[in-house]
Chain A
Amino acid sequence: MTLGLALEALLGVLQGAAVFALAPLFTGVMRKVKARTQKRVGASVLQPYYDLLKLVKKDEVVSENASWVFRAAPWVVCVSTLTAALFVPVFLPFSPLSVAGDVLVVLGLFALARFFTMLAGIDAGSPFGGIGTSREMMFSSLVEPGIFLTVFVVSLTLGGTNLTSLIEASARSGAALVPSMIFGLIAFLLIVMAETGRIPFDNPATHLELTMVHEAMLLEFSGRSLALMEWAQSTKQLVLFGLLVNIFVPLGMPDSPDAGLLALGAGAVAVLLKVGALAAGVAFIETRVAKWRVFRLIDLLSLAVASGMVAMVFHYL
């Protein structure tokens, strides 16, 4: 290994910081793409940053019904999401924390964040929060088999659940055009759309519509708490996009940390471009598809599970 341990750790921390820092940018890019495809000018791509900085400085209004769980939830959600982000190699082919936790830890931390988001939805006693939580309960439990099947297929194909070795293996093999990975990609794409609350699963731009899921749970938050929740959501989105491109489309990613700083930098730029393209693609889909009825989404999630199953069968046969 040509990189020193200290340099590797430093790069890991920088990667984490870059994920936190760039997450709102991709939210901005997606909004811009969406606006343009709808023939609007749209806000600047930096608007999410202005929002965050503004929200942090604002007073908070907290429901009288809410308990300490509501106050603690934004911190738990944000900290667990950011911690999960540190375990994922997004811009670099490695994360120094892979020795302490794997993809299951990342999914577990995301689930912890979701658990507290759902509790906060109930806590204010508003029917909006309740509706969001009850729908999220259904989605989150139906998404789980799809996620696990994708993990199953990916770890069968690339070996293990350690994210660093997964992504290195993926980078070594190039874009693996095997049937199991293709069906795995279909499943994972659907899951990423569901997890990040994009149309057709959920409408991130809605407020006060009976179709909202994630926004309904966030309705009672304001000020600093809202900033934390929004930031956590953006970070989760970037992490999932990063995982998707690094596992399924590893073009340009160096296959080990000792490829030299230049190659690592080029890989990071490649990831930035690919994630940007993916974000633009997802935003484009959003303008072409309507939000689906809640109970029809079960079919879409079943499709994710089904393609995961097909992928597994292909792998074994």
Chain B
Amino acid sequence: MVLSDGYSALYLAAAALYLLGALLPLFLRENRAAGSFVVPAAASLLVVATAIPMILTGSVFRFSSPLSVPSQAVEFAFYADGISAFFMLIIGLVGFAVSVYSLGYAQGYSGKQSVRVLALLFNMFLLSMLLVTAADDVFSFLVFWELMSLASFFLVVYEHEKPSNLRTGVTYVVMTHVGTALITAAFLLLYFQTGSLSFDVFRASSATLGPVARDSVFVLALAGFGTKAGLVPMHTWLPKAHPSAPSSVSALMSGVMLKVAIYGLALVTLRFVVPHAPADAWMGLLLVGAGATSALVGVLYAAVDSDIKRALAYSSVENVGIIVVSLGLSVVFMSYGLSTLAALALLASMYHCLNHAVFKSLLFMAAGAVVSSTGTTDMNRMGGLAKRMPWTSLLFLVGAVAIAGLPPLNGFVSEWLALQALLSSYRVPSVPVQLLIGFSSIVFALTIGLALATFVKLFGVSFLARPRSPEAEAAVEAPKSMLAGMGVAGALCVLLGVLPYLAASTIASSFGFDIKLVSSYSPFGPLMVGYTAAGASSVSDLSMSTVVVVAACVAAALFGFVYVAGSGRKTVVRPYSTWEGGFGQLGVRTEYTASSVSQPLRTAFKWFLGPRTEVRREYYSGSNPLLKRSVRVVSGTREVFEDYLYVPVVGGAVFVMDKVRRIQTGKVNSYLLYIMIVMAFFLMLAALQP
């Protein structure tokens, strides 16, 4: 390991640039403030420029900044190794794309909302995430974590004039603090065990932790970081926060903040708890179970939701689930000492982290372009946008193909790795574990299938066919800067898909795998999956660049064939109206909508989704059934976790508090009585002491 001060200087420079980006717009006029997003774009590039060489050279940096608190030696300690650098890379890449996008996107708020505030919060959000990834003690980690939570809270309620957004904000801020409380508890347990608040000590003393404390730390961290990452059942804030937040913020929250939570989970699991014995396999199985549940629940709701941003948010729940399944597999393999497979599963998990960061931010940015152009997030009111916004639609399609896990884009590569890890589970020497993983692989496969359907619906209903509302009819293409931001993310989707070697070797070196999962000879080389450290006896290979080249040859041959076979006469492509069964031009109301296209799925999974349709009739006078003012059909699905978990828990808490409130009578006499009772109680306690 090389300890270099150069990297810490670069890191600090990036942080300073974000700070500048936060403060600069305050001195700009409102209509110029959107231009200040060049500063976070530059800062993000600097982060990428710090992270990549750090990973490739295996460098680390460490520094601390003492804080002058009287009588208390508090300091912010920073330490970044390959893992931190990998997550910094995610922050930098997505931060750059979203900052460029914001140059145009923030213009849309000009005159309605304060762009200066948006820029301030945006930069603080990125800065806080950058700081979290390098925090090296409990104090700094929690301070930066809280800064991240608060910045994102204010961004969620940025459009604060809508009352629903404020309600969402309250949900978010409560959930996120429950998560923080659990994380704090995990760190406090570690503190009691080790007597230190430093992560260095935590890392060094993983072997000496008490067994109960170790298990508790893991569970608390899973619950705490899981809340932030959106694992079921703590995911309920996610589908609420995203439709409220500006789309650039959704891109950052889904693309980056969830990954920072994964960073925390990976840090605690792989560095502080360190599973190493078969008895630790339950941790991995718990992760696999939580991940598989999240994946399935997330994708089921995504498949039937007709709000584009909420569906994308649910799909984030799904993807976090996929990431956590692979992480859990890695823990299982680690517990049984199968280090090669553990590395494979971890590679799958981290590859999917990077991929999800890229394609989900792309999709949120494209959805943002659509929402600002049509003014609605309801897919039932969209349609026909592929003709009106051709570039946005192309980029959304790239994101959709990538997230649906289709070749040749990046989603396929990470899902391929995850499936290979699942298929390798037979090497775990325990039949119950094999079967459990086997059954969770069914859930995983179902998730992949539903994700495909979800993105057919998202793209097909929003962008294809005819516009279903005047707003969609009048939609125009997004400004160039927004397209450029999306283009960066789209290009990354292609690059990470066609040349998987680049990302795989980067991840391998940032996590310090000492095995050969990737061929070492060229960036076009295949990924290899083998069970020995040498990688010599590979059982499966994947070379996406070959697939692309072969597909190109096939396309050329096919084109040639069709050209030759059809050369008898010149063919004409004639535009004509859609065949409508001879009834004359059908209205747009007959088109399939987001709700109707997902109806078979809603029926197939009705045991879970509980679809309900309600007819609401309003009458002019009393109950005279003849004079109807309006008939409305409202259909929706059951919110399983809201209805069966949150509502009872919150209701119970309110009930108890209502009862407790009765002792607050407001009379001084009764308060004096309480004081007397408590004092008498303590005197009795003191008297009973031996």
Chain A interface residues (CB < 8 Å from chain B): 53, 56-70, 75, 78-80, 82-83, 86, 97-102, 104-105, 108-109, 111-112, 114-115, 118-119, 121-131, 133-135, 137-138, 140-145, 147-149, 151-152, 155-156, 159-162, 165, 208, 219-220, 223-224, 227-228, 294-295, 298, 305, 308-309, 312-313, 316-317
Q: For B279, list chain A residues within 8 Å (CB).
A: none
Instruction: Tell me whether B449 and A144 are in contact (CB under 8 A).
Output: yes
Give the complex CA separation of A37 and B569 in angstroms.
39
For chain B residues 543-565, which have a beta carbon within 8 Å of chain A?
Answer: 543, 546-547, 550-551, 554-555, 558, 562, 565
Instruction: Say if the beta carbon of B566 comes within 8 Å of chain A.
Output: yes
Instruction: Say if the beta carbon of B23 comes within 8 Å of chain A.
Output: no
A63 to chain B: closest residue by CB = B578
Beyond contacts A100-B546, A104-B416, A141-B446: 5 other A-B pairs, Cβ-Cβ < 8 A, are A59-B571, A75-B558, A78-B558, A134-B597, A152-B423
Instruction: Tell me whether B577 and A141 are in contact (CB under 8 A).
Output: no
Q: For B575, list chain A residues within 8 Å (CB).
A: 61-64
Give the complex CA separation of A101 and B498 in angstroms.
13
Q: List 12 A-B contacts (CB under 8 A).
A: A57-B569, A69-B386, A108-B405, A111-B406, A119-B459, A121-B460, A124-B465, A129-B592, A134-B592, A134-B599, A137-B453, A142-B449
Give the complex CA separation of A309 and B441 in angstroms.
11
Instruction: Say if the beta carbon of B276 comes within 8 Å of chain A.
Output: no
Would you give the shortest CB distance from A12 to chain B, in whole angstroms? 11
Instruction: Tell me whether B452 and A141 are in contact (CB under 8 A).
Output: yes
Instruction: Tell me whether B578 and A160 are in contact (CB under 8 A).
Output: no
Q: For B597, list chain A residues within 8 Å (CB).
A: 122, 130, 133-134, 137
Would you give the shortest CB distance from A308 to chain B, in whole angstroms? 8
Instruction: Tell me whether B449 and A119 are in contact (CB under 8 A).
Output: no
Instruction: Say if the beta carbon of B450 comes within 8 Å of chain A.
Output: yes
Give the complex CA separation of A298 and B603 in angstroms.
10
Instruction: Say if the beta carbon of B631 comes within 8 Å of chain A.
Output: no
Instruction: Tell me whether B456 and A125 are in contact (CB under 8 A).
Output: no
B446 to chain A: closest residue by CB = A145
Which 4 pairs, one residue from A and one from B, show the smallest C-beta to C-beta distance?
Answer: A130-B592, A144-B449, A148-B445, A141-B449
Instruction: Say if the beta carbon of B672 comes within 8 Å of chain A.
Output: no
Instruction: Tell me whether B600 and A112 are in contact (CB under 8 A).
Output: no
Instruction: Tell me whether A137 and B601 are in contact (CB under 8 A).
Output: yes
Chain B interface residues (CB < 8 Å from chain A): 303, 383-384, 386-387, 390, 393, 397, 401, 404-407, 412, 416, 419-420, 422-423, 426, 431, 434-435, 438-439, 441-446, 448-450, 452-453, 455-457, 459-461, 463-466, 526, 539-543, 546-547, 550-551, 554-555, 558, 562, 565-566, 568-569, 571-581, 586, 588, 590-592, 596-601, 603-604
Q: For B420, list chain A residues within 8 Å (CB).
A: 104, 161
Give the complex CA separation of A129 and B465 in angstroms.
10
Instruction: Tell me whether B442 and A60 are in contact (CB under 8 A).
Output: no
Contact of A316 among B438, B547, B577 (CB under 8 A): B438
Q: Which of A68, A123, A137, A294 has the most CB of B within 10 A?
A: A137
Instruction: Tell me whether A149 and B442 are in contact (CB under 8 A).
Output: yes
Instruction: Tell me whether A82 and B558 are in contact (CB under 8 A).
Output: yes
Give the complex CA separation of A162 and B539 in angstroms.
7
Instruction: Tell me whether A119 and B526 are in contact (CB under 8 A).
Output: no
Give the complex CA separation of A295 and B558 in angstroms.
38
Instruction: Tell me whether A80 and B578 are in contact (CB under 8 A).
Output: no
With A59-B574, A99-B543 given, is the CB distance from A152 to B441 under 8 Å?
yes
Instruction: Tell me whether A99 and B576 are in contact (CB under 8 A).
Output: no
Instruction: Tell me whether B540 and A161 are in contact (CB under 8 A).
Output: yes
Instruction: Tell me whether A127 and B604 are in contact (CB under 8 A).
Output: no
Q: For A69, list chain B residues within 8 Å (CB).
A: 386, 393, 397, 463-464
Give the complex CA separation of A119 and B448 in angstroms.
17
Q: Which of A64, A138, A151, A152 has the most CB of B within 10 A?
A: A138
Contact of A75 among B442, B445, B542, B555 (CB under 8 A): B555
Would you give the shortest CB distance from B174 to chain A, in whole angstroms? 34
A80 to chain B: closest residue by CB = B551
Instruction: Tell me whether B578 and A126 are in contact (CB under 8 A).
Output: yes
Give the complex CA separation of A224 and B574 in angstroms.
13
Instruction: Tell me whether A125 and B442 are in contact (CB under 8 A).
Output: no
A163 to chain B: closest residue by CB = B540
With A99-B543, A127-B590 given, is the CB distance from A309 to B442 under 8 Å?
yes
Instruction: Tell me whether A108 and B442 are in contact (CB under 8 A).
Output: no
Would you give the shortest CB distance from A106 to chain B, in whole angstroms? 10
Tell me the interface secondary structure of chain A in the complex: helix
Would you give the shortest CB distance from B506 to chain A, in whole angstroms? 22
Instruction: Tell me whether A119 and B569 are in contact (CB under 8 A).
Output: no
Q: Which of B412, B438, B588 has the most CB of A within 10 A?
A: B438
Give the complex CA separation of A104 and B416 in angstroms.
7
Give the complex CA separation of A62 and B600 in angstroms.
28
Instruction: Tell me whether B464 and A160 are in contact (CB under 8 A).
Output: no
Instruction: Tell me whether A144 and B464 are in contact (CB under 8 A).
Output: no
With A68-B386, A137-B457 given, is the CB distance from A62 to B576 under 8 Å?
yes
Give the complex CA separation of A65 and B574 in angstroms.
13
Would you give the shortest CB distance from B348 to chain A, in whole angstroms? 13
Q: Which of A59, A126, A316 has the most CB of B within 10 A?
A: A126
Instruction: Tell me whether B387 and A148 are in contact (CB under 8 A).
Output: no
Q: For B405, list chain A residues within 8 Å (CB).
A: 108, 111
Give the complex CA separation of A300 and B431 in angstroms.
29
Instruction: Tell me whether A63 and B576 are in contact (CB under 8 A).
Output: yes
Instruction: Tell me whether B600 and A137 are in contact (CB under 8 A).
Output: yes
Q: For B579, list chain A residues within 8 Å (CB).
A: 63, 126, 128, 219-220
Give the complex CA separation of A180 and B49 in angstroms.
52
With A60-B573, A119-B459 given, is the CB distance from A159 to B539 under 8 Å?
yes
Instruction: Tell me whether B466 and A65 are in contact (CB under 8 A).
Output: yes
Contact of A108 among B406, B426, B464 (CB under 8 A): B406
Would you give the shortest CB distance from B70 to chain A, in whole angstroms? 62
With A100-B547, A104-B419 given, is the CB distance from A118 to B442 under 8 Å?
no
Instruction: Tell me whether A313 and B435 are in contact (CB under 8 A).
Output: yes
Would you give the shortest CB distance from B50 to chain A, in whole angstroms? 35
Instruction: Tell me whether A127 and B591 are in contact (CB under 8 A).
Output: yes
Instruction: Tell me whether A137 and B598 are in contact (CB under 8 A).
Output: yes
Contact of B546 among A101, A220, A223, A309 (CB under 8 A): A101
Would you give the shortest CB distance from A105 to chain B, in whole angstroms? 6
Instruction: Tell me whether B453 and A79 are in contact (CB under 8 A).
Output: no
Instruction: Tell me whether B599 and A140 are in contact (CB under 8 A).
Output: no
Give the complex CA separation of A147 and B445 in angstroms.
8
Q: For A145, list chain B residues within 8 Å (CB).
A: 442-443, 445-446, 449
With A56-B562, A56-B566, A148-B441 given, is the CB distance from A65 to B578 under 8 Å?
yes
Instruction: Tell me whether B461 and A122 are in contact (CB under 8 A).
Output: yes
Give the complex CA separation of A99 and B405 in angstroms.
21
Instruction: Tell me whether A101 and B448 are in contact (CB under 8 A).
Output: no
Contact of B598 among A66, A97, A123, A134 (CB under 8 A): A134
Instruction: Tell me whether A144 and B591 are in contact (CB under 8 A).
Output: no
Contact of B558 among A79, A122, A125, A316 (CB under 8 A): A79
B547 to chain A: closest residue by CB = A101
Q: For B555, list chain A residues within 8 Å (CB).
A: 75, 79
Instruction: Tell me whether B445 and A220 are in contact (CB under 8 A).
Output: no
Give the complex CA separation of A64 and B330 in angstroms.
51
Give the complex CA separation of A68 and B541 in angstroms.
34
Instruction: Tell me whether B540 and A60 are in contact (CB under 8 A).
Output: no
A317 to chain B: closest residue by CB = B431
Instruction: Tell me whether B541 and A133 are in contact (CB under 8 A).
Output: no
Instruction: Tell me whether B577 and A63 are in contact (CB under 8 A).
Output: yes
With A119-B460, A122-B461, A127-B592 given, is the CB distance from A223 to B571 under 8 Å?
yes
Give the complex CA separation of A99 and B529 in angstroms.
12
Would you give the shortest CB distance from A296 to chain B, in whole angstroms? 11
Instruction: Tell me whether A125 and B554 are in contact (CB under 8 A).
Output: no
Would you give the shortest CB distance from B363 to chain A, in whole angstroms? 15
With A68-B386, A80-B551, A141-B450 given, is the CB distance from A298 to B407 under 8 Å?
no
Contact of B407 among A108, A151, A219 (CB under 8 A): A108
Would you give the shortest CB distance from A112 to chain B, in whole angstroms? 4
Instruction: Tell me whether A141 and B574 are in contact (CB under 8 A).
Output: no
Contact of A83 among B423, B438, B551, B586 (CB under 8 A): B551
Q: For B599, list chain A residues within 8 Å (CB).
A: 134
